[in-house]
Structure 1
Amino acid sequence: MRMILRKAHQWRSYFIAMQDMFMPSRLFFHRSLISLAIASGVAASTPALAQNTELAPLTVYSDTYRNTATKTALKPEETPQSISVLDRQALAMRDADTVATALRYAPGVNTELRGGAVGRLDLFTIRGFENLHNYYDGLPLLYLDGWNLQAQTDLHAVEQVEIFRGPTSTLYGAMPPGGMVNMIAKSPSQASFNQVELSTGSHNLKEASLESRGQFGNSDFSYSLVALARKKDSQADTAEEERQMIAPSVDWQITDDTLINVNLYYQKDPEQGIYTTLPAAGLFLDNPNGRIDEDTFSGDKNWNTADREVLMAGYKINHAINNNWTFLQNFRYTDAEYLQRNTYSTGLNADQRTMNRAAYLTDESAHSYAVDNQLTGLVRTGAIEHNLLAGIDYQSMDGSVQYSEGGAPSIDLFNPDNNQIDRGTQALTPFGDYDIDREQLGVYLQDQARIGSWILMAGLRWDDYSGRQQEALYGSDNKQEDTNLSSRAGVMYEFSNGVSPYVNYAESFEPILNTDMFGEPFEISTAKQYEAGVKFRTNTGMTSVDAAVFRIDKKNVPTRAPNAGPYDQIQVGEVRSRGFELEASTQPIDNLLLSLAYTYQDVETSEAPTDIEGNSVVWAPDQLVSAWADYGFVAGPLAGLTSDVGIRYIGEAALTSTGSRKVPDATLFDLAMSYDLGQLSQSMDGAELGLSVNNLLDERYYTCYDAGNCWFGQERTVEASVSYRF
């Protein structure tokens, strides 16, 4: 408590202190104790609460949606920090079918990390920092730290994607400092909606999806159901991708003030393409043997298993205590399994064409619990309107990994034979039998206050984190236990002309449950950000502009050791990310929408005890530029046609953490079109044709972790669809 008061005192000259804070000593799950938690929050409020005063400028809605940047229903433009929102219209407009394709046109995000043939991880960098810890409907998706098991969410089950840039630990605990991505699930609705869709296209794509929602008769129950089946060939030779997904959800409106949502998400991925790499020599560096083909696979079709099964089950309880106070409990249980057979490169021979390989197998499983209890309320103290948030969240994960490895035949990359391994005779030696446990308890407080045209935000969070990785074969036992206090503060001024400048400061922390190349445990990594920006909205809402400059300093960052293997890491002193971001959209006429995103970033190792100091980090292009135009024909022979065109520029990125060689830049074009068949005949009302083309000019481009581990970007793909709504 003394630490919290000391932190709060640092911001006292800038922000109104939160009053009558309370900190429950235990985390309650049983529903009979929810009312006790609510009553405690009400009792801790100011006397103004008893007046039951409605405060219009800052509104908390009585549903289960919470803004990612505030954990309240406040609008993103009222938040003094960078956030982008991609709603269902934006996702449909770009025909996005994965999280990566959805984020391609967002500022600050680089989705080109492991190429077009690797889709088994939702992996990207935000403001130059790698992020594998994604959120779905406000709770973390399971990720088995340091391994391969990640619970993915198919975009067909997502209503909206929110990108919160900058440190987010004050609300979410242990997180990378670049930001986070939260995918908002499709939710039940009393309004009836039904749609079926069939798609086909490049790589023998076959896909069918179903979406339905509505009310059960005249009852207090409504539902949502999303289902998908997809199968296609991978971009790389001999590999396939396959998925089945179903996501039902039911709302029970018990009273006008109380809503219970029960939700389920199940996904089975029997095949997930490839995960192997290629050397830069033959991709974009000189190779005496010529250029490697874009569909080259350096693995073996008999040793290329990626079988994942994920089940997520959860509930939400939302209770409006009165017009000003609301309590939300959000809970999810996740169970997941992952079996992988794969090969990796052990080096390229002197002939620059023969890759030496090893075969490995991982059998991974994990289950996790996550719960977030949030009490939000509006309180007036004199001329100040406070939007208060108090919460307790808890996460727990237990996982296991069995890892084994063996030799594998080498492969000629310019004349590959992908049928050399016999699964029945492939020899493997056990190399690891791991038990991994992770637990986090967090208590957080936030006040977003309005004083006239001023919006002030301050937040504090205390976390108790513990993690342990035990290995049975060799007897290693790596533990990490940390407590951390994170703070966040920002101020914004709303001018009457729609211009709102702001500044903010935010902190993050990130435990690292692993050891360096010398067997020493990693220390906790911490970061801080300074950001200044401006948000602009016209009165009509037809034009918006967000711009920000930022600096993030992250300490104790693991990175690839110079002249070492791909998994030999050291913990460097500090990585610094500086940059500028711009996001703008305008609708000059009713049927034309234009959007632009620009990112400049300078991400380098600013302090290190090795020769990597001063060098750029990998996977952080110096510039990212994207533009999108959407035009709908409303009259004439093309009425009912909507046409979209996008352009993306991915700047140069460092090839390695040492040296000056770069991964080349690339300029890519995307197209999307849809046609309402109801324009031809009333009998076809609700039917629509769709066509999308990614990388229209079939640009050959790349992404790399180092010179020995690179991937081809996504080649040109064409997808056609027909859908029917009823």
Structure 2
Amino acid sequence: MKSTQSFRPTLIALAIAVATGHAIAEDTIDTNDLSTLEVKGQTYRNTATKTQLDAEETPQAISIIKSETLEERGVESLAEAVRYSSGINTELRGGSVTRLDLFNIRGFDNDTVLLDGLPLLFNGWNLQPQIDAAVVDQIEIFKGPTSTLYGEMPPGGMVNIISKSPQEDSANSVEITLGSDNKKQVQFDSTGAISDKVNYRVIGLARQKDGQSVTAEEERILIAPSLDIQLSDSTFLNLNMYYQNDPEMGVYSALPSKGTVNSNINGKLNSDAYAGDENWETYEREELLLGYKLEHEINDTWSFLQNTRFTFADAYQQNTYSGSTSLNSDERTLNRRAYITDEKSQGINLDNQFSAIFDTGSLEHNILIGLDYLKLESDIKYEDAVAPSIDLYDPDYNQIVASQLDFAASGYSSDFTINKEQTGLYLQDQIRMDQWVFIMGGRYDNYKYSETGRGSTEADDDQNQLSGRIGALYELDNGFSPFINFAQSFEPVSGSDRLGNAFKTSTADQIEAGIKFQNADTLASVTAFNIVKSNVLTRDPNGGTYDKVQVGEVTSNGLEVELTKALTEELNATLAYTYQDVEVSKSNDGIQGNTPVWTPEQQVSVWLGYQPKQGSLLGASFGAGLRYVGEMQMDAANSDTVPSYTLVDLSIGYDLAQLSANWQGASVQFSVSNAFDETYYTCYDTSSCWFGADRSFELTGRYEF
């Protein structure tokens, strides 16, 4: 019983967009020009400050990844895009699960992704909007607490996508990609001026490929049109739409540690092993995002920006799962349950920003006053039943028959609605005094959450929170800029203790200090941090099995290094290093002193890019990368570890115009991920492990006109 699809207006838009036949090419950027951060459209604001302050001038750690880098590395997803940055661990559910973007930043899990400064609304179940790399112009990774500007957020940081925006100059491109796992993809991008007041952009993509797990398939269709309209000399409007249809999105089920990370009496499983059922496995998702940005210059001092997005999404899933005792003593028979989720979400994000720039004596102030609002309503239906077991070493993937499952005769056993609402008022002053940059900000949030209906927790929470930050940076004449900051974050906690006392908001404090460096051919930063997260739920020593009290604590200490340097006119390098010591510093669950899962102590990545400027290799580009991720804990009890791994990625490109003037605008790009086909793993516990991504490659032909 699958949910109906109902986004017909967007299909009409798709047909119109394809009929135009437009496509785009990005202007190339000199890889040696590392001294400036481009302003991405008239309404672009730096993620860390919601102002146009450059990342190098901001007293907080930020990593920025540009679209040229993503294209060079053949990036398809956000998870792939961030894996060469410090402080962030990605692909937490291995290579076969691609339907969601989940990160661990500075030791804390984060499933909230932002698009153009507004969070993508995630219902906490299985319906999370996902943005394809085809529309990404820039990715910003903001390290540390961000609640002062964005409200509810884990303390490790966040990832913000800056989408490609309309340009005045006409540019078009068409791409065709073929790759491993029978990948076939067609993509177009077109931008230019409709009139002297209106610029447009249209991006479209169709992709089909096999998933890593046997029997799995992935499909995607997207269309993303946008308009920039100069309504007057002082008023600017951007209209944008993002529609994505994912008829198939691979698999989600996990495998036990025996046969993957650990030994099994029957041997090791292959990296395409699968614990689900081809006859049952389904995941369909459709999402429509409609937004606008309105910017108005009130006078020479004050300006106003309103950033708004409406979200409509649904997902239907049929899947299987197994518990911690589901693997039989023969270590090959896995007992399973089959389940269905049918989810629909709709919501709105609204961020109103008043900003002013003025001087008081020798001080230059950039004042920001904001009021934002978020509302999500999500309807969730759920059902599960016992399913036939599977022999992992001699699998039959066609055992589950829907009509034979013992589902409730009256329909879904759980049918409930989640409502989430957040209102935040924030104030920030960014002050310049000669070579000093100071930032001070505070925010008040009201957060409401309710869950009602059959099978729900009947939650009804209303929490308020204050958060703040203060930071300073000093720009020395030699290019070095030391900085220090203090920042706070919060996450609402639903429920109550055994005495009926509602849980408090979980909060975190960070102290961060570092130094940034910038000159004509180098960008570098070294950052040290300490984060303490408080009010974490832990076992009630005086209560029952499921009773909780809020006295837990998690501490994260670390060091991050990032370097981007032009070694010569033709050769450039990027380096990222992470060291982090994360532990449960207070707990009644017997895990005090333990390290949370998905938290490697060390990570290192290096990428070298070579682009000859003369000779027989003129027109070619070469890239090679190495990624090391250290050992991680397998479960919260730290009963075992997941081995470290080292992966190599490669890239080769060529401008075909070097062969003949008739090929002007044509180029090819070949990229390989995990070139040596290293087998690696991630785990959440002993019954939930995933294989990392196998070796994959793709060849892209691109024509710009």
TM over 0.5: yes
Does residue 370 (structure 1) correspond to residue 370 (structure 2)? The answer is: no
Asked whether the 8 Å contact 1:388–1:446 carries over to 2, the reply is yes
The equivalent position to 2:437 in structure 1, one of 455, 473, 478, is 455
**Displacement after TM superposition at 1:455 (Å):** 1.2
**Displacement after TM superposition at 1:480 (Å):** 1.1
Does residue 492 (structure 1) correspond to residue 473 (structure 2)? The answer is: yes
2:52 corresponding residue in structure 1: 73
Distance in 2 (alpha carbons) for counterparts of 1:237 and 1:681: 43
Superposed CA offset, 1:101-156 (max 9, x none): 110001001003100010100111110111111100111101002x1110111111
The equivalent position to 1:529 in structure 2, one of 506, 510, 515, is 510
2:657 corresponding residue in structure 1: 678
1:414 corresponding residue in structure 2: 393
Amino acid at match of 1:496: D
Change (3 A) 1:710 1:516: farther
Distance in 1 (alpha carbons) for counterparts of 2:95 and 2:389: 24
Does residue 126 (structure 1) correspond to residue 105 (structure 2)? The answer is: yes
Does residue 135 (structure 1) correspond to residue 123 (structure 2)? The answer is: no
Does residue 261 (structure 1) correspond to residue 238 (structure 2)? The answer is: yes
Superposed CA offset, 1:531-583 (max 9, x none): 11100111x2x101111110111123358999xxxx99986601111100000
Change (3 A) 1:517 1:154: farther
2:190 corresponding residue in structure 1: 212
**Displacement after TM superposition at 1:378 (Å):** 1.1
Distance in 1 (alpha carbons) for counterparts of 2:107 and 2:97: 20
Does residue 195 (structure 1) correspond to residue 173 (structure 2)? The answer is: yes
The equivalent position to 2:62 in structure 1, one of 83, 88, 100, is 83
Amino acid at match of 2:154: P
Does residue 168 (structure 1) correspond to residue 149 (structure 2)? The answer is: no
Map 1:565-580 to 2 at 5 A. 573-580=552-559
SS of the residue corresponding to residue 589 of structure 1 reads coil
**Displacement after TM superposition at 1:611 (Å):** 0.7
2:134 corresponding residue in structure 1: 156
**Displacement after TM superposition at 1:636 (Å):** 2.0
SS of the residue corresponding to residue 279 of structure 2 reads helix
Asked whether the 8 Å contact 1:438–1:466 carries over to 2, the reply is yes
1:276 corresponding residue in structure 2: 253
**Displacement after TM superposition at 1:391 (Å):** 0.6
1:630 corresponding residue in structure 2: 609
Superposed CA offset, 1:643-702 (max 9, x none): 000000010011111134210000000001111011101111111111110000000000
Does residue 428 (structure 1) correspond to residue 404 (structure 2)? The answer is: no
Distance in 2 (alpha carbons) for counterparts of 1:518 and 1:290: 50
Superposed CA offset, 1:309-348 (max 9, x none): 0000011111123344321100100000010000001311
SS of the residue corresponding to residue 52 of structure 2 reads coil
Tell me the TM-score normalized by structure 1.
0.88
2:361 corresponding residue in structure 1: 382
Change (3 A) 1:477 1:229: same
Change (3 A) 1:58 1:661: closer
Amino acid at match of 2:159: V
Distance in 1 (alpha carbons) for counterparts of 2:600 and 2:427: 36
Distance in 1 (alpha carbons) for counterparts of 2:690 and 2:122: 23
Asked whether the 8 Å contact 2:538–2:552 carries over to 1, the reply is no
Change (3 A) 1:632 1:559: farther
Asked whether the 8 Å contact 2:539–2:588 carries over to 1, the reply is no
Distance in 2 (alpha carbons) for counterparts of 1:405 and 1:359: 5
Change (3 A) 1:607 1:709: same
Distance in 2 (alpha carbons) for counterparts of 1:78 and 1:610: 43
Asked whether the 8 Å contact 1:58–1:387 carries over to 2, the reply is no
Superposed CA offset, 1:683-723 (max 9, x none): 11111111110000000000000111000000000111101
Change (3 A) 1:284 1:60: closer
Gaps of 5+ in 1: 1-56
Q: Higher mean Cα deviation, 162-171 or 585-594?
A: 585-594
**Displacement after TM superposition at 1:61 (Å):** 10
Q: Higher mean Cα deviation, 415-424 or 677-686?
A: 415-424
Identity, % of aligned pairs? 48
**Displacement after TM superposition at 1:77 (Å):** 1.1
Distance in 2 (alpha carbons) for counterparts of 1:707 and 1:561: 25
**Displacement after TM superposition at 1:587 (Å):** 0.5
Change (3 A) 1:426 1:518: farther
Amino acid at match of 1:159: D
Residues matched between the structures, number: 661
Change (3 A) 1:60 1:135: closer
Superposed CA offset, 1:63-119 (max 9, x none): 210100000111011111011111122222222111011100010010031000101
Tell me the TM-score normalized by structure 2.
0.91
Amino acid at match of 1:149: L
1:715 corresponding residue in structure 2: 694
**Displacement after TM superposition at 1:431 (Å):** 3.6
Change (3 A) 1:62 1:187: closer
Change (3 A) 1:371 1:543: same
Amino acid at match of 1:334: T
Distance in 2 (alpha carbons) for counterparts of 1:180 and 1:261: 24
Does residue 109 (structure 1) correspond to residue 92 (structure 2)? The answer is: no
Distance in 2 (alpha carbons) for counterparts of 1:385 and 1:607: 44
The equivalent position to 1:551 in structure 2, one of 511, 530, 550, is 530
Gaps of 5+ in 2: 1-35
Change (3 A) 1:618 1:58: closer
Distance in 1 (alpha carbons) for counterparts of 2:60 and 2:637: 33
Amino acid at match of 1:298: A
Change (3 A) 1:697 1:460: same
SS of the residue corresponding to residue 156 of structure 1 reads helix
The equivalent position to 1:695 in structure 2, one of 674, 687, 693, is 674
Does residue 592 (structure 1) correspond to residue 580 (structure 2)? The answer is: no
The equivalent position to 1:223 in structure 2, one of 178, 200, 205, is 200
Distance in 2 (alpha carbons) for counterparts of 1:97 and 1:723: 16
2:336 corresponding residue in structure 1: 357
Map 1:278-427 to 2 at 5 A. 278-346=255-323, 347-427=326-406
Distance in 1 (alpha carbons) for counterparts of 2:176 and 2:143: 35
**Displacement after TM superposition at 1:59 (Å):** 13
**Displacement after TM superposition at 1:416 (Å):** 1.3
Distance in 1 (alpha carbons) for counterparts of 2:142 and 2:482: 18
SS of the residue corresponding to residue 301 of structure 1 reads coil
Amino acid at match of 1:212: S
